[in-house]
Structure 1
């Protein structure tokens, strides 16, 4: 993704498109200065994503989305962005400068599919908190985001990491059907219809069309055990030993851990946190005892992610990689992170977080576009790594972003030196310069090219939609 590409719009193209869109979507198109426009731009979770499009569209049906796509297809000079929750920190991904942003949050209906309690129909603009509230009444759960404010659409099309990952894989593997708007029309993609499109979209984000509805599997889950614990940084060796015990013991698909190494700039302190869930009712389960029993503990706290400590006006950058776990490689990665974090520790109230998450189970017979192979069994010995940095001073943005890139380069060099670096980069955590679709491999990219040529021969989504692209 090239942020400068959003400047390719010509003024004549933009003027023409605005006029056409005003006709096909009357009353649902907003311009700078409109309160709805300002509200939409200001609602992005991170300041780094608050670009200023020439107009914002708010459709509330697949038919209206189709009308928008038809208009945009008529002028290849106009860039556009697709927004569901607006939770990414990346600029020019779910928003755009000068082009058109399609705000899908009005497509938020939640309902059972044909009275079937096992499958839930969810609009792409719904937030996961709304999905969980709906399912809680029925004693069921879905494979969704750990953050209730995250939108359904972007989360699933990027793959989707959750506390269910060790048992049920990516969220996208738990989708049974999608309603997707393409230049060829409104299509259903599933295991029987448009199978190639169904595979490509799961992990392919907005490269092939605009998903307006997901039909997702739900699971009977009445009670989980879970919580968060904060520790001093002196427990690092014990933390890595707990990972080693979990990875080297009998695989427990119910044990989910998100471990974060944190620097809180306001306190100038390094800490470690574990957010843990056991996917059945079992107080103090054995599978998580190695983490729960680490001492000393600073506090026991409700399950929460590091972002819950931030206000929504922060700037942020995410960078990601995947490594094969070993105590030695993770200890060296931690050392790189601490050393580089100190270079930016003077930025007021900065928060730097290095997080390890379990790699999702790869379900056999459920192909997606991520280029992963079930036989590799990455869930047994690999971790997805994310470096996330949050800050408040706009003037610090350039240097913090440079440090984030350099830090990841150094951490990957450490992992490569121990033959522990995997090529996969999880797209929902990738920085704008990382080009995660390349990490899926040539076979996945070739399949994506074929699907794009079939369903979007003009290249509307490949050329005009901003965001990460297949090669």
Structure 2
């Protein structure tokens, strides 16, 4: 047998052997291909691109189950594993994996107030944000979480987390006081007093250092606020870009949250613009949103006073489901000229792929959140840089129906992003930061955190994972 054949056989033996080993350690919590539980799990991923075929699926119901699964994985160094929270990423080999082990955290979904604290909530990593908002709404409170109700808590927070409240309260990960983490060495708490180096690294580090099973998150008083969506014809493009430039060039308003999207809708065969916008106070038609609300012509919108839960349900309902998808991201300092260049590149790329049935192509501009100066996270951003005043996080998202188009669409998208970044660099408007939750599988967001952060992260990894379990076997973006 040739060496390559031997390696393949060893890997196959490992994958087969780990089933039985995990089943002994976690009876009733291991699911194999062709079982109804397995098939339902694989089919429940939001995007087809993440519907892979692991050798087995582990469904822990306790934190100790996660620790037991990791202990078994150390015995099989050639077996890859994935951690699933909500399963919302379109990236393959992130929350799922072919031929390896997928650990599905969705049964770890506790949502309850911390005893004696009205402002703190314990949330399991497998909970969805819709459940969090529904629970908090009973107390007139909310949290810095996802703008879509079905997104899982774990990956969202460990990747940073952009929320309705980002302009005022920053990244979701900066609104966490404690994490329960299963490291390669056991179960620990990570906060500013206990294991603070781990606490910092995980906030923006995904599952490179351990598996977070529970978060203690800060909540805030919130009943209703102003928001919703308005759609406009493509002829309003210049007015839309100018409104965004005016917003970012004026005095910073932490109450204004804008998600400005330029879209091609394949089912309508047309381009259009959509603003999902929020004013984080109980004030109807506030001056802060006037520049966007007043753009004409427009189609009837959904602007109203409402709750976080209902706004998240509204955005969830607009998301393309059960399709192939790609996200990719970059960060720019906005100006009218760079906006026009980026929009032109996106439109030209979209026209190359609109023959794909029912395709949806979206270019979205979002405000960069302010940073907490006395509580640095693991993303390496200088908190004194004040990127929130002039910079935007871009996401280009494309959704399509047929797998035969995968390679072509991904190539067109990648080429378009390279052109966008080149155009921004020419105007000295490109920032290196890549928001990890929007990054495509071919991007390298950890490298955008800077060498000092990477060095610190490597030290954390050596300390809490000295044998390199997560570096060697966990899928996803690697440090």
Question: Judging changes above 3 Å, is the alpha-carbon distance between structure 1 residues 180 and 189 closer, same or farther for their aligned structure 2 residues?
Answer: same
Aligned to 2:82: 81
Distance 1:115 1:275 in 2: 36
Change (3 A) 1:133 1:307: closer
Correspondence for 1:4: none
After superposition, the CA RMSD in angstroms is 1.3
Give the equivalent residue in structure 2 for 1:39: 40
Counterpart position of 1:419: 428
In the alignment, what sits opposite 2:345? 336
Contact 1:306 1:353 in 2 (8 A): no
Equivalent residue for 2:298? 297
Q: Is 2:65 the counterpart of 1:64?
A: yes
- Cα deviation for residue 287 of structure 1 reads 0.7
What residue is the counterpart of 2:359 in the other structure? 350
Structure 1 consecutive aligned stretches of length 4 or more whose deviation exceeds 3 Å = 301-311
Cα deviation, residue 311, structure 1: 4.5
Instruction: State the shift of 1:145 in Å.
Output: 0.2
State the partner residue of 1:286. Answer: 287
Corresponding residue for 1:149?
150
Q: Determine whether 1:390 maps to 2:399.
A: yes
How far residue 366 of structure 1 moved from its aligned partner, in angstroms, is 1.2
Unaligned runs of 5+ in 2: 1-7, 304-310
Q: Secondary structure at the match of 1:196?
A: helix
User: Separation in 2 of the partners of 1:212 and 1:34?
Assistant: 26
Q: Give CA-to-partner distance per residue, 1:12-71, whole Å, 9 cap, x none.
A: 211221121011110010000111100110000000000000000000111111101111
Structure-1 separation of matches of 2:34 and 2:266: 36
Measured in 2, the distance between the counterparts of 1:428 and 1:283 equals 32
Supply the distance in 2 between the matched residues of 1:84 and 1:201 (Cα, whole angstroms): 15
Q: Is the 8 A contact 2:16 2:55 kept in 1?
A: no
For residue 449 of structure 1, what is the aligned residue in structure 2?
458
1:307 Cα deviation (Å)? 6.6
Secondary structure of the structure 2 residue equivalent to 1:301? coil
Q: Which runs of 5+ in 1 are unaligned?
A: 1-6
Counterpart CA distance in 2 for 1:395 and 1:299 is 37
- Give the aligned length: 464
Conserved? CA contact 2:364–2:396, under 8 Å? yes
* Aligned counterparts of 1:244 and 1:265: Cα–Cα separation in 2: 29
CA contact (8 A) 1:324 1:383 kept: yes
Partner in structure 1 of residue 3 of structure 2: none
Paired position in structure 1 for 2:138? 137
Counterpart-to-counterpart distance in 1, 2:21 and 2:184 = 17
After TM superposition, the score normalised by the length of structure 1 is: 0.97
Task: Give the Cα separation in 1 of the matches to 2:10 and 2:373.
Answer: 43
Shift of 1:299: 2.6
Does the Cα contact within 8 Å between 2:167 and 2:369 map onto a contact in 1?
yes
